[in-house]
Amino acid sequence: MGQALEILLGGLLVGAIYALVAIGFTLVYRVAGVLNLAQGAFVVLGALVFYSLEVGAGWPLPLAIAGAVAILAAVGALVEWLIVHRALGRLSTAGILILTAGLLTFFEGATLLIWGSQPYAVPSFFGEAPFVVAGIRVPTQAAAIVPVTAVVVAMLAYTLARTTIGKALRACGENPLAAALMGIDVPRLTLVSYAAAAGLGALGGAAVGPLVSLQFDTGRYFTNAGFIAVALGGMGSFFGA
């Protein structure tokens, strides 16, 4: 019975990991109407930047997380501004999909050049020894992954449903032309969505890094898992993801 509960808990943690990746997919899809297949690369890059800041540079845990999120948000904004923004008005949805797949490959190559081909193990936030609850071993990182996933989903759902910028983001996703006619800066909000999705990817990467082996081509695994979660949960649904 205890072993079955441990397997069930492990499955829930893996599901939370997939949900974090799927949320980034959903955010971009709800604003820009396209699937960003490079989202998995943002997760790996975020985890490795976090590793470099905490282990390599000796930054405290909170600063390393904040630094990784800020750096990846800047990378996401640059990708949207330099590449995606120019393609949105010229390529079909299928063309944008292929473009983001190419970006995934590009980031895998960049990761290989910067961090090499060896796998990395990100340190756990709360130590390596698992909790033992009623004879069931619980990974300490569960105390980070589950709350992070729940808080991110709740915050994004509230932002989109209750705030002015959230309603503007929803308008961009539902009808970009009508949103522009109403005075909404659609390109700027699209850039914001890519930056936020990349930052969320970095946050997810830092949270799940201690549970998986990370190397330059792990991004495609996260992309596949996140895409499946989005497809099953419903395109554009945070709670579905």
Mean of the per-residue pLDDT values of the chain: 84
Q: What pLDDT shows up at residue 1?
A: 65
Q: What pLDDT shows up at residue 134?
A: 64
- Tell whether the model's pLDDT for residue 67 goes beyond 90: yes
Q: What pLDDT shows up at residue 163?
A: 82
Q: What pLDDT shows up at residue 48?
A: 94
Task: Report, as an integer, the average pLDDT of 77-84.
Answer: 91
Dihedral through CA 241, CA 34, CA 156, CA 141, nearest 10?
A: 50
Q: How confident is the model over 181-192, as pLDDT tens digits? A: 787 888 888 888
Q: What pLDDT shows up at residue 217?
A: 87
Distance CA 178, CA 183 (A): 9
Instruction: Work out the pLDDT band at 198, boundaries 50, 70, 90.
Output: very high
- Tell whether the model's pLDDT for residue 206 goes beyond 90: no
Q: What pLDDT shows up at residue 2?
A: 66
Any long-range contacts for 51-58 (C-beta under 8 Å, 24+ apart)? Answer: 51/120, 51/122, 51/123, 51/209, 51/214, 52/115, 54/123, 55/123
Q: Tell me which of 22 and 31 has the higher pLDDT.
A: 22
Q: What pLDDT shows up at residue 74?
A: 96
- Tell whether the model's pLDDT for residue 104 goes beyond 90: yes
Q: What pLDDT shows up at residue 237?
A: 72
Distance CA 27, CA 152 (A): 11
Distance CA 183, CA 79 (A): 25
Q: At what angle do helices 2-32 and 219-233 cross, to 10 degrees?
A: 80
Distance CA 203, CA 25 (A): 14
Q: What pLDDT shows up at residue 103?
A: 94
Distance CA 148, CA 125 (A): 13
Q: What pLDDT shows up at residue 49?
A: 95
